[in-house]
Structures are given as structure tokens and as C-alpha cells.
Structure 1
Amino acid sequence: MPFSIYLHIPYCSVRCAYCDFNTYAGLEASMPAYARALAAEVQLVGKAYVAAHGQPARVHTIFFGGGTPSLLPLEAYTEIFNALRGHFALTPDCEITMEANPGTVSRAYLEGARALGFNRLSFGVQSSHPHELRLLDRLHLFGDVAQAVSWARAAGFDNLNLDVIFGIPHQTLGMWQATVHRILGLGPEHISAYALSLEHGTPMRAWVYKGLLPMPDPDLAAEMYEWASEIFEKHGFVQYEISNWAKGDGRRQTTDFACRHNLQYWRNQPYLGLGAGAHGYAENTRYSNVLAPAAYIQRFENAEARPFPLSPALAQKTVLTEKDELGETMMMGLRLVQEGVADSDFERRFGVRLAEKYPQELKTLAARGLLEWNGECVRLTKAGRLLGNQVFREFI
């Protein structure tokens, strides 16, 4: 089974008010050293796999997330790509994604990224309204998004994702509808739409709980989600995951534009997490790296390889039990609203059928209208998509 690789770029121009990811503003001076450390981690983990298995690991998706990967200079990416190609066996059709802030790219930068090997971009749009973008601490305007998409097309990118957020404080249904129509007008192949989540430790959560902003309305958020789902479908998009939609371009099928990297997560298949704070899952082990860029960089001074899939940046690891694997397979697989969890795949992996392992859970959730179970595959109903966390808890 081929691997996926996630590489974390933790740098941001400004830390967004709603974000709880491992990101840092004002540390740009450490980027060259960070890129060297990341390239070193790629090399050491690649060598560890060869030492254990006698050949390079085959990789079919690579994802640079953040943070703001588009802040990292192209010269730094050259070093990282050289390490990836030198120590892993990338498939000819390897999907290579960069998350990008529309306000941090230029046409020349995107042309250089495409020449390096990136073939998919994910732009963090979030909203088309200036006041919502200011509230979210986003530095771009919607005009920057349109310009970035135009530059990306000119650079040769034919696989673009646009991220948007709904349920923003003070956001009306009409405001959300305007944002959706504007992003559809840009012609992306993929759209990700997420409900705003008030994460612990974020300024946004503090503002809401101090009464400075209204608490998000879950009923309005559900209405926004259902409306967007219908509109995306009318425009030819297929929903393949709770928050993700893909569309064919006339030459290739919709399935060609579903994010293959994220499918690796949702199918509970192995992926390597490299970079500060990155998480990985391989060979029955979940692990994470040290969070701070400075600590991460220091770990690679005179570093040596560790047993695969670990690296010198390791912070913690957990060897999974079968119960862990079962629960995660159900929780992640049910997010795939078309594919769901197939009984044949489940039996092949765990040696037991779904109806034997979860007879009561399947019966109860189907009776509540949250699951569809036909004896061959289990998937969320439309109602279940809105209450996914309630469903997932039954299998953990």
C-alpha cells in the first residue's frame, strides 16, 4: 500500500483569530534552517524505511500544510523536493498539494511552484466579505483570490481547491450565499466548506465567551450547510466527504479531483507526518513531533535515523490496539458520505463482518435515521452528516 506524506510549514504572517493549529507569526528568519531540518527529516525517515524493508517507500500523495506554506521561498522547497525524490519512490501520478494564502502568492511564485512539481493548490478563501475577513484576521480580499486563481491557471494548475467557512459571527444566510456564488464563479475543481469551530485557546472563542461576539447559531449553520450542499450539487459537484465536494472538468471524472491525500486519512491508511508538530500513522503506530520550530530545528543537529516511522523530532507515540484501529476506521470511513465503510474491506482488514462487530450500533443508528446500512456498506444519511460526531461516538 503506498504512503502519503504530510509536511508541516508552521509560519504565518498573522495568526488567525479562530486557528488552533501549530502556527507561528514573526519567525520568518528561521525559515532557511527549518527547511534544512525538514529536508533532513525526509532523508532520515526515508533511510529508516529502506533499512527496514530493503527498498524506498512508495508515495502517491504529498501535502504541504500549515501555517502558510506559500510563505516558504521556492529555494527552500527545492531542497525539500530533492530529499523527497532522493529517498522515496514517488508514483508518476503523485498528487502534490500546497496550501496557499491568496495574499501571499505572485504569478512568478506559482509558476515556480508548478515547475518544482506541485500539481494541486488549496487556497484559504474563507469569505468574500471584507468585514468577515477582518474578523477572521485574514489579510487578503476577495479580489486577491480571483487574481491568485488566474495566476494559478496561467501557471498550469488544473486542480484547485477553495476553502470557505460558514457560521462566522454576524454572518447571515445571504452573506454566506454570496460567498458561495462568488467562489463558484471562479471555477474550482474542489471546494471545502467548514463550520466555524470555537477552539480552546483561540481569541475567537474568548471574544464569544466574553460576550463581544454572538455565539454561532447551530440551526443557522445547519441551514447554511444544507443550502450549500444543494447549490454545489446543482453546479456539478459531488459531495464525497462531509465537508468536501469535487467536480470533473469534462476530460476527467469527479473522482480525479477528490483530494487523494485526505482520502488516505479517511480510509485510515498509512501516512508520514514530517515537520514541527506533524502527526503520522504507520505500522500500527500514531506519533507526533515536537511543536516549536526552534526545538524541531535543534533535533536535527547531528541527528541519526530512528526505527521507521519515527524521526529525531519525535515527541510522543502510541502503539494502537485493535479496538483503536476499529474505532478509527469507522469514525474516519463514515466521513466518506458516498463510499462509507464497505463490509468486505472491513472483514479483510479485521477478520470480522460489520454486522457481527457492531450489531446493536448499526440497528440503533439506522432506526434513528442517521445511518444507511444495506448489508454491504454503511454510510451516513443526510441527517447523519449534520450529527456526525454523535454517530462516531457510538463506535469509539
Structure 2
Amino acid sequence: MSDVYSLYLHIPFCRHRCAYCDFNTYSGQESLIPAYVKALCAEIRYVGQTAPYRLPVHTIYFGGGTPSLLPADAIALILKACHEAFDVIPEVEISLEANPGSITFEWLKAVRRLGINRLSLGMQSAHPDDLRLLERQHDFFDVSQAVRWARRAGFDNLNLDLIYGIPHQSLSRWQETLERALGLHPEHLSLYALTIEHTTPFHHWVARGLIPSPDDDLAAEMYEWADERLSQAGFVQYEISNWAQPRGGDLLMCRHNLQYWLNAPYLGLGAGAHGFANHTRTANVRGIKAYIDRLAQLTERPFPLTPATEQAQTIDLLTEMQETMLMGLRLTREGVSQQRFYERFHQAMEEVFGSTISYLVNLGLLEWREERLCLTRRGRLLGNRVFIEFVGETRPR
């Protein structure tokens, strides 16, 4: 059976670029939205036409930026292009990221009718001081109102994004944020430790001593408390930063993100989007105007490249094995399956990484659960320490 694909569609528009964000986003360019949507539809159709066969697609993800800035008719055009270019399965998961302060009830009803069936709201915090420091353009009332509207519009698969380890954020303030998020009864929660990226105002503020650097010990305490509290609330952790509620015997995991963690093929389309297909990693040109101009030319490129592709790298077998290990180990319940690894690479996991695995097991960072290699509880807190052992060498340890 052919691999199923995922589509990542990048929407790079924002009303305001937040102080901690290093994503490919731009404010003040909303006038380019119609031309951008036209270019994105052209890229979708292009890669569909150059693919070796009509690709089956099981997840579509609108990321950003702020995808909720798109009018519903623009989203309809993009989804129409996806259905024309690919074999979109009937049970497709279609996720859309939204900022709580940039949506209306009418818009939510419209996009739900279009087939968007998973909504991810960037709540980040419930505390006004945290939101002010992050330069978020909403408050907790906006979040709770967005959730009410989403439910009335028919959304029954809702994620909230939260950030912990924010400068000046105490453990009790983080606990209050998580409790208020739980009070909104989401099906899914994504919890991210704040990282200071070099290109952001946060990095400049830390360098000048205007805000303190994140406290790693406090962040670890926040993470461990959240894990316990979410377990009490009926959530199941399935990835280092993600928890889901069960429904009908299944977990409401984000199927799109599972595609990344399984190192499975996905097409990244839009300005600055990254993809992985046909053993090739791709990265598109970042600028909105440059992206639009490139898609107006439609120069011939082999699959999975498109006219917008700025970088392409062929991934060799060992690198793909290494990336499969470090991505798969993020899955806290599933880990990396020996059987799946062998079926994919025709080599046993221990044949390739045996000494590295033994080393990390002896450190108490990895453990075997039947036929699966998984992070231990301690390993989840030291994930980067584990992952680095699987990359960067010509041969594994």
C-alpha cells in the first residue's frame, strides 16, 4: 500500500508579530492575502500534477502565522484545490490554527461547514501579565468566548496551546493557567516550554537584562506538575508536549503531527513551508511577495519540488534512520516500534543503533516496552540529551 500523505499549508499573515515568535510570519501585509491564496492554490495543483500518482492525503493542517485571518471563501478555494490535486480520504483530519482574538462566531460556522474539523487555539496563558509580556493580542475572556463559539459552530475536537517557563511566571500562576484551560474542556492540550530564539525581541531583552532567562529547573517542575494534573483530569500523554482525551476507545491525538513524529511523508506548501517526501527535505522561499512571484512563473521542477522551493536536500538511508529514531522517541506511549523500523528499513533497530540504545538504557533514559523503545519518565525531561545521541555522527555509537 502506498504511503498516505499529509499537507501542511503555511499562512504567514499576522496582525502583530509576538515577541517570542520566530516563525515565518509578517504583519501589515494583509492586502496580499488574495494574491497569496491564488499562489498557494497554484502550488497545491502543481505538486499534485507532478506527483508520480494521485497521492492519498489523510491530514491537512493550516498553520501560521494566523490562518484565522483568512476569510472563509479563501479557505474554501484552498480546500477545493486540495481535493482537485489529491485523493483526500473521506475521514480526513483538517486542522486550523486560530488566534482567540481574531475570530467570530459567523466565521467559525462558515469554516466548520467547509470541513475544518479540528481547531487549535493559541491560548498561551490565562494571566494578563504573561500575555502582555508575550505580546499576545487577546485575554482569557477572548479564549473562553472562542471556545463557546466553536462548540456552538459544531467543533468537537479542540486543542489549546499553552506556554510555560515564561519570565516572571511562578509555579502557582502556571497552575492557575492550566486549571482555567481544563475548565474549558478541550479534547487536546499542547504544552510548550518557552525557548528564547535568536531572532526575537525576547532574545534582545534577555541579552540586555530586561527580562530573566528561563529557569530550566522551574520549567521542569511546571512540566512534571502538569503531567500529574492532566493524568488526574483523564488526559493521556502521547508525545512529550501533547496530551489527548480518549473518545470511543481511541485517543483524540493530532493525526497530522503524528505524521511528523513517525517521520512519514508530508508536503509543506506556502511561504517558508518545509516538507519531507520522496527521501527529500524541502524548504520554500520565505517572503510573501517572492512566493507569489515564483508561483506566477510555474517553472518545471521534479516532485516534490515546486517553483517556490528554495532548498532541497536528499536524505540518505542512515540520516533517515536517525531522524526516525529521534522523532519517534518523542511519542511517549508508542516510542519506536522494532517491527515498523524493520519493515521500513529492512534492518533491525539494534543492528544499527545497538550500542547507542544500550548506553541510553543504562543511563535510565530509554526503556524497552515489549517490542518498542521508549523514553523513561526521566528521559522525557532530558529528551534533547537522548536525541543528540542519534544524530550528527557518520555512524551511530
TM-score relative to the length of structure 2:
0.96
Q: CA deviation at 1:306?
A: 2.5
Q: Equivalent residue for 1:46?
A: 48
Q: Equivalent residue for 1:388?
A: 383
On the 8 A contact 1:18/1:204 being kept in 2, the answer is: yes
- Structure 2 alignment gaps of length 5 or more: 392-397
On the 8 A contact 2:236/2:246 being kept in 1, the answer is: no
- Residue correspondence of structure 1 range 36-75 to structure 2 within 5 A: 36-49=38-51, 52-53=52-53, 56-75=54-73
Q: Equivalent residue for 1:329?
A: 324
Tell me, what secondary structure is at the counterpart of 1:4? Answer: strand
- Structure 1 alignment gaps of length 5 or more: none
- In 2, Cα distance between equivalents of 1:155 and 1:375: 43
Amino acid in structure 1 at the alignment position of 2:240? I
* Residue of 365, 389, 393 corresponding to 2:360: 365
Q: Equivalent residue for 1:270?
A: 265
Q: CA deviation at 1:376?
A: 1.7
* Residue of 309, 330, 343 corresponding to 1:314: 309
Q: CA deviation at 1:19?
A: 0.5
Q: CA deviation at 1:77?
A: 1.1
On the 8 A contact 1:247/1:253 being kept in 2, the answer is: no
User: How large is the Cα RMSD of the aligned pairs?
Assistant: 1.0
- In 2, Cα distance between equivalents of 1:342 and 1:392: 16
Amino acid in structure 2 at the alignment position of 1:46? G
- Residue correspondence of structure 1 range 107-118 to structure 2 within 5 A: 107-118=105-116
Q: Equivalent residue for 1:293?
A: 288
Q: CA deviation at 1:86?
A: 1.1
* Residue of 344, 348, 356 corresponding to 2:343: 348
Tell me, what secondary structure is at the counterpart of 1:394? Answer: helix
Q: Equivalent residue for 2:153?
A: 155
* Residue of 97, 100, 106 corresponding to 1:102: 100
- Residue correspondence of structure 1 range 194-213 to structure 2 within 5 A: 194-213=192-211
Q: CA deviation at 1:253?
A: 3.3
Amino acid in structure 2 at the alignment position of 1:290? V
* Residue of 31, 41, 49 corresponding to 1:29: 31
Q: Equivalent residue for 1:15?
A: 17
Q: Equivalent residue for 1:127?
A: 125
Amino acid in structure 2 at the alignment position of 1:289? N
- Residue correspondence of structure 1 range 188-199 to structure 2 within 5 A: 188-199=186-197
- Residue correspondence of structure 1 range 191-270 to structure 2 within 5 A: 191-249=189-247, 252-255=248-251, 257-270=252-265
Amino acid in structure 2 at the alignment position of 1:59? V
TM-score relative to the length of structure 1:
0.97
- In 2, Cα distance between equivalents of 1:349 and 1:84: 28
Tell me, what secondary structure is at the counterpart of 1:153? Answer: helix
Sequence identity of aligned pairs in percent?
A: 56
- In 2, Cα distance between equivalents of 1:19 and 1:234: 32
Q: CA deviation at 1:185?
A: 0.3
- In 1, Cα distance between equivalents of 2:369 and 2:224: 25
Tell me, what secondary structure is at the counterpart of 1:158? Answer: coil
Q: CA deviation at 1:375?
A: 6.2
On the 8 A contact 1:10/1:23 being kept in 2, the answer is: yes
- The runs of at least 4 consecutive aligned structure 1 residues that moved more than 6 Å come to none
Amino acid in structure 1 at the alignment position of 2:381? L
- In 2, Cα distance between equivalents of 1:347 and 1:375: 15
Q: CA deviation at 1:254?
A: 4.1
Amino acid in structure 1 at the alignment position of 2:377? K
Paired residues in the alignment total: 389
Q: Equivalent residue for 1:283?
A: 278
Q: CA deviation at 1:97?
A: 0.3
Tell me, what secondary structure is at the counterpart of 1:16? Answer: coil
Q: CA deviation at 1:373?
A: 2.2
Q: CA deviation at 1:248?
A: 2.1
- In 1, Cα distance between equivalents of 2:279 and 2:298: 24
- In 2, Cα distance between equivalents of 1:130 and 1:161: 21
Amino acid in structure 2 at the alignment position of 1:253? G
Q: Does 1:186 align with 2:188?
A: no
- In 2, Cα distance between equivalents of 1:43 and 1:375: 44
Name which of structure 1's ranges 80-89 and 169-178 shifts more when overlaid on structure 2.
80-89
**C-alpha distance after superposition, 1:94-115 (max 9, x if no partner):** 0000000000000000001101
Amino acid in structure 1 at the alignment position of 2:170? T
